[in-house]
Amino acid sequence: MTALLSAARIRLGLMGLLLAFGLSACGINNVPTLEEQAKAAWSEVQNQYQRRADLIPNLVETVKGFAQQEREVLTQVTEARARATQVQVDASTITDPEKFRQFQEAQNQLSGALGRLLATVERYPELKSNANFLALQSQLEGTENRIAVARRDYISTVQAYNTELRTIPGRWIAGILYPEAKPMETFTATAGSDRPPPVKF
């Protein structure tokens, strides 16, 4: 009798192990795993945009010291930075199309204002050779590259997550176990980004 109970327990244990393995192999954890990866990538995007926002006041002050007459451009950069940092961003932003659009629009306006500022600097050779300005410009260029990489990584993780939500068996698993899972938003190209920026030497 004891031997029969032991054998039954072993069989139940093996069946439980096989069931657990089968469930994990069928992708039951894919939705939350991919969601967390996308959220982490979104955090990196925010981190890089914050890095850029932190550099801007120093850049504006440096330019202001050399180019007093460029008040309009400096004001545009300062105002664009203020608008970009006022947009409330949290984890819900990536599943809310309107909040995501507002965030992207504010960042695009800031990018445009920075581009105008750097184009204005071309008129001031003494500023272009200033060590502080050169260091800030280099940091800003590096940050823009980091932003591009963070956005690319975010887009890739969101693509994997959204694909999981829209394909089978992920769609079924999400519907049953993760009904709160929503597709996430991704970045779109800025209007006019298909034209290369003018380069002046």
Q: Does residue 17 carry a pLDDT above 90?
A: no
- For residue 189, give the DSSP letter: P
The answer to whether 178 and 31 have CB atoms below 8 angstroms apart is: yes
pLDDT digits 0-9 by tens, 33-88? 999 999 999 999 999 999 999 999 999 988 888 887 788 888 999 999 999 999 98
Rounded CA-CA distance 160/94 in Å is 14
- Please determine, for residue 201, whether its predicted confidence score (pLDDT) is greater than 50: no
Closest CA relative to residue 65, chosen from 134, 143, 23, 126: 126
Q: Tell me how many degrees the CA angle 53-42-139 measures, rounded to the nearest 5.
A: 35
pLDDT tens by residue, 102-138: 999 999 999 999 999 988 888 888 888 888 899 999 9
Please state the φ and ψ torsions of residue 180, each to the nearest 5 degrees: -80, -10
Task: Give the pLDDT confidence score for residue 8 in this predicted structure.
Answer: 63
> Is it the case that residue 20 has pLDDT exceeding 60?
no
pLDDT of res. 7: 66
- Give me the pLDDT at residue 14, please: 63
Instruction: Tell which residue, 58, 37, 82, 77, has the closest CA to residue 136.
Output: 58
Scanning the structure block, which residue is given the tokens 């979104």?
Answer: 42
The structure's pTM equals 0.79
Burial class (CB within 10 angstroms; exposed 0-12, middle 13-18, buried 19+) of 39? middle
77 or 91: which carries more pLDDT confidence? 77
Q: For residue 4, is pLDDT > 70?
A: no
